[in-house]
Structure 1
């Protein structure tokens, strides 16, 4: 599958910039999927106004592979989205592992109608840049790729400018999610895309959940040869946006409007700090990101979309004091939540 095979409405939405939540896993008993609530989550995101879904990614839990759930989760979410909306949605599937595994996952995703694969390189910690680029180029022959700079604190690999320059030069790369939680590394990605002269092909998305608004507002300027380019980050593919998603859509619209007019208010700058404060609670920064997935589950549990916060891995649990921190940010930043919207629609989504 080549990027020119992506339906035009979905490709245009991706490049214009949109909200793409990283889709959680709804567990029932043991390691079985709670199909009702898995579909309800997808319906929630669609009705909240997202432009795409990312499934099989970090927030979905990488352990779905070893538990034999990868195909089922991707299929359930794609089917639920297709049944619930006539809008074009960008469908992105997480791809992990060494080349054989990533190719198989790309084939599964392609056959289920996904438009791109989000390329996680956590399994390539000791590899050279040459080896990682060869791997990415091989997988790109199966499906268009979305680069993924996963922060090292949760298993990511440090990826220098040279990697991003060569990755962006792969012709079937259509986007990059920047999530190193590090400003220097984020700039290296942008410089790499510019150096590869791929800025018109590659959509830039923030995955920096600790600096969402700042990324969406900053006119990143990159010097190439004798020219100065401005490379805006148009959208976000975020675990943070798996919760309070209607508020995220509204926030993204405000940021895009500010991008277009070039007018950035102090209230928007204040939102950057408020959203980061919320993320510190959701991702359990105080405990080294122990509850980065469980914290999102806790918000969804309180809203009734999930029954519990349990994850496939025993290591993925709420950190000490995290529940209190979530309560605090909900109290202090209610304008960033969407509890009323969820309460009004929950029964319909669970039907």
Structure 2
């Protein structure tokens, strides 16, 4: 890492390691599929008011198409979110994370844009790099980490990610200025690969682990991983989540994580938490459209936000991205079966304020 690389403040780094709720920020569009700036800003206000520990912008939930020249929305959405965070003057630690994609040149350019708008770290996607070797991807990571703190991203193959070896993550964890890894392979074996690799790393205490496994959120957050390293047990915990799922019902997600932090200190975890994990996973199946290989995952998020009034519709930049057949009915069922999981009343009480601010 060069002396010019940005680093997190000690307060923010401490908060990252203690565990945060970090929603993956959606994209608000109007009926003409143009950026709805008013509702884009309202979403950021919602996440801050919910008590989240930060936001991730320009990520999968923000739609990768924002980078297409036809839309050119990458910088505008980063700017709008950063402006809202600055205006709010939040007293608690709050991390601004920018999604970084593509070959090294593109990722470095996006990192520069993120730094320009005061972002603290980059969530570095390893998707879309077909034909790249693991060593080439590691070299790219080192280049990006030279200028901005990096959060690694294990994206599930069904939405554009690729499978990496234990050895890859072992080397990845040694890269200076890698501050965290988001694990979202939706696969227990591959999640364990990452945690074990970090435990084997000399930087194990410098890297925070975050779940992106929307299919296993609570179990990820409650599990204590232990591996034998050089004959000694090494433990690691997944401390928080950077999740598309947490871009909806965020207020309740914040309460959930605070409750989980208390439960972790108990000598035994009550069995009810296994049931709660199933409830959250069942909800995610509806929102993310697991029945159709996640085809409706972004419209599903939008549909929940639309019902709450935060979004006007479920439109995506890609007109073919729509709710799948039966997905709206599944969301109806989730609302009926698990009313304790939503934060509709919280949104209802504050929506007018979030939409009306200048």
With the shorter chain as reference, the TM-score category is: over 0.9
Query: What is the TM-score when the length of structure 2 is the normalising length?
Result: 0.96
Q: Distance in 2 between matches of 1:49 and 1:152?
A: 31
Q: Distance in 2 between matches of 1:161 and 1:172?
A: 20
Q: Distance in 2 between matches of 1:155 and 1:166?
A: 22
Once the two structures are TM-superposed, the CA of residue 324 in structure 1 deviates from its matched residue by 0.2
Is residue 120–residue 147 contact of structure 1 (8 Å, CA) maintained in 2?
Answer: yes
SS in 2 for 1:232: strand
Is residue 13–residue 90 contact of structure 1 (8 Å, CA) maintained in 2?
Answer: no
- More deviation, 61-70/119-128: 119-128
Any unmatched runs of 5+ in structure 1? Answer: none
Could you say which residue in structure 2 is the equivalent of 1:81?
85
Is residue 30–residue 315 contact of structure 2 (8 Å, CA) maintained in 1?
Answer: no
Could you say which residue in structure 2 is the equivalent of 1:49?
51
Q: Distance in 2 between matches of 1:8 and 1:35?
A: 33
SS in 2 for 1:233: strand
Q: Distance in 2 between matches of 1:292 and 1:205?
A: 20
SS in 2 for 1:200: helix
Q: Distance in 2 between matches of 1:264 and 1:238?
A: 23
Is residue 180–residue 208 contact of structure 1 (8 Å, CA) maintained in 2?
Answer: yes
Counterparts of residues 1-351 of structure 1 (less than 5 Å): 2=5, 5-66=7-68, 67-87=71-91, 88-351=93-356
Any unmatched runs of 5+ in structure 2? Answer: none
Once the two structures are TM-superposed, the CA of residue 294 in structure 1 deviates from its matched residue by 0.6
Map Cα deviations across residues 37-71 of structure 1 (whole Å, 9 max, x no partner): 01100111111100011000000001100020000
Is residue 145–residue 172 contact of structure 1 (8 Å, CA) maintained in 2?
Answer: yes
4+ runs deviating over 4 angstroms: none
Q: Distance in 2 between matches of 1:125 and 1:227?
A: 38
Q: Distance in 1 between matches of 2:206 and 2:105?
A: 27
Q: Distance in 2 between matches of 1:8 and 1:53?
A: 19
Once the two structures are TM-superposed, the CA of residue 125 in structure 1 deviates from its matched residue by 2.3
